[in-house]
Each structure stands twice: as structure tokens, then as C-alpha cells.
């Protein structure tokens, strides 16, 4: 079950964190993975780890907020593999602030990556999938799509848009063999979290790490590999009856 043999998958923002875990998991299950990454060095590192583990992976430079870069990246995937079966829109950025403290520049920056980036990559992905009878798209949303989070105005806006785009794509292409779902993680322990704590709470990293962990009722943050396991299911043929859905992976946040 959950094998992806002979599948071609593209994962954006797969140079680290959740994206890297998804790329590595998909490759371990037999997919040929294209690591689409703005940071070319980290993208190459993920692809190299996959190949060292016996998988198949290529790194492709891609700025998801730039239409020309996205077109070039997806053209490169098509030229190398001939088709696209799976797209994971993982690339995203964060922002901390309320409606008062979020500047126009802040909002534009978050929108460009988290919303426009999903639009551009989904557009390119759908066009390729339509040539080959369909495929699966998975978007990385957030519990911020579903509940209010303190000081996350712009980020929440963007992830709410991801949820809406997920359902729109699902409805528009359900008859053409394209499924589209999203996952909504709570806090996940990634290098981004460690960097945020170092920069924001110097000398208090462990204390704040514990606070962030305890926000989840299970008492810890999620792991990238746990999100990757859910992504694997939703992009596999075993999930062929699922489209237009949002799956929280949140350590109990939405329950308690």
C-alpha cells in the first residue's frame, strides 16, 4: 500500500523541513521526485540525500512567486520526465503581526509566496496533469485556515486562501481526474522554528520551545515525517476517493 512506483512528483520548498520530509518519503515509496526550491543549494542537498538513499530525485530552481520561474521549472519537469502525477505546494513563509502592525509590504510579501505561489504552481501543474489523465495536488494549509491564531493576521489570511483554492481546484477538475486536498498542521518542529526562537528569544530558546510545544494538547510539536506520512496517503492511489478536503494534523488543537 501507498507505493508511488512510476509516479512523477514535484514538491515546492523541499529544501528543508516539511517539504524535504515529503520529498524523501515519496522517493522512498518509489516516486521520481523533483525538488523545486528557491534556495538552489538546499534543493540540491535534498535531492542528493534521496539519491544516496537509493531514490530518484532532481533539483530544479524555482521561485514560486514569479510566473516566469514557475513556467521554466515545470517545463523542466516535463522535459525530463514527460508528465506530472503529483504536485505538493509546500513552499511558504511566515509573518508575525496583527492587522495594525502588518504593513502593506508585509502583506504583499506573504501573499506573493503563500497565495500567488500556490496559484502559479497549481496552474502549471494542472495544465500538465490534464495532458495525462489527471493527478493529485496537495496543498500545505495550516490550522490558521480553520481557527484564529494570535498575531498571525497575514499568515492566517494566506492559509485561508490556500484552503479556498484547494476546494476550488477540486470542484473544477473532479471530472478530469485531478484530485486536490490540503493538510492543516499545527506547530511542526522544523529548522524554521529553531531559527525563529534563536532570533526572537535569545537566551530563552528552551523555555519558549516548551511553551510552543505545550500549545498542542499532546504536549509536543509535530514532526515533518508525520506530516509527510499524511501527505503520502493523500497523494497515493489509496486516497483516490478523496478530494476537496482539509486534514488537520494538530496534536489535538482543534478538539480541546
Catalytic residues: 155
Residue 78: closest CA among 135, 29, 13, 140: 135
* Helix extents (H) in the chain: 17-28, 40-52, 67-81, 104-114, 116-130, 153-173, 191-200, 205-214, 224-235
List the grid coordinates of 144. Answer: 490558521
Q: How buried is residue 245: exposed, middle or buried, by Cβ count under 10 Å (0-12/13-18/19+)?
A: middle
Angle 16-21-27 from CA coordinates, rounded to 5°: 120
Angle 123-128-130 from CA coordinates, rounded to 5°: 95
List the grid coordinates of 162. Answer: 490556500
Residue 166: closest CA among 154, 175, 179: 179
Amino acid at each position: 500500500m501507498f507505493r508511488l512506483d512510476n509516479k512523477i512528483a514535484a514538491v515546492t520548498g523541499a529544501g528543508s523541513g516539511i517539504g524535504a520530509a515529503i520529498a524523501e518519503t515519496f522517493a522512498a515509496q518509489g516516486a521520481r521526485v523533483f525538488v523545486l526550491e528557491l534556495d538552489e543549494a538546499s534543493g540540491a542537498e535534498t535531492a542528493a540525500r534521496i539519491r544516496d538513499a537509493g531514490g530518484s530525485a532532481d533539483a530544479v530552481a524555482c521561485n514560486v512567486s514569479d510566473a516566469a520561474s514557475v513556467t521554466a521549472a515545470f517545463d523542466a519537469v516535463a522535459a525530463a520526465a514527460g508528465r506530472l502525477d503529483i504536485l505538493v505546494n509546500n513552499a511558504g513563509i511566515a509573518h508575525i503581526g496583527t492587522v495594525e502592525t502588518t504593513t502593506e509590504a508585509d502583506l504583499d510579501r506573504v501573499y506573493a509566496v503563500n497565495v500567488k505561489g500556490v496559484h502559479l504552481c497549481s496552474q502549471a501543474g494542472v495544465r500538465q496533469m490534464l495532458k495525462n489523465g489527471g493527478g493529485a495536488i496537495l496543498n500545505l494549509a495550516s490550522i490558521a485556515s480553520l481557527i484564529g491564531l494570535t498575531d498571525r493576521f497575514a499568515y492566517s489570511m494566506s492559509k485561508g486562501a490556500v484552503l479556498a483554492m484547494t476546494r476550488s481546484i477540486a470542484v473544477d477538475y473532479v471530472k478530469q481526474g485531478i484530485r486536490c486536498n490540503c493538510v492543516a498542521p499545527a506547530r511542526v518542529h522544523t529548522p524554521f522554528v529553531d531559527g525563529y526562537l534563536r532570533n526572537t528569544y535569545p537566551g530563552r530558546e528552551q523555555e519558549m520551545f516548551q511553551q510552543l510545544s505545550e500549545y498542542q494538547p499532546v504536549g509536543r510539536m509535530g514532526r515533518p515525517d508525520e506530516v509527510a506520512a499524511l501527505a503520502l496517503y493523500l497523494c497515493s492511489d489509496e486516497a483516490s476517493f478523496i478530494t476537496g478536503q482539509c486534514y488537520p494534523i494538530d496534536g489535538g488543537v482543534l478538539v480541546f
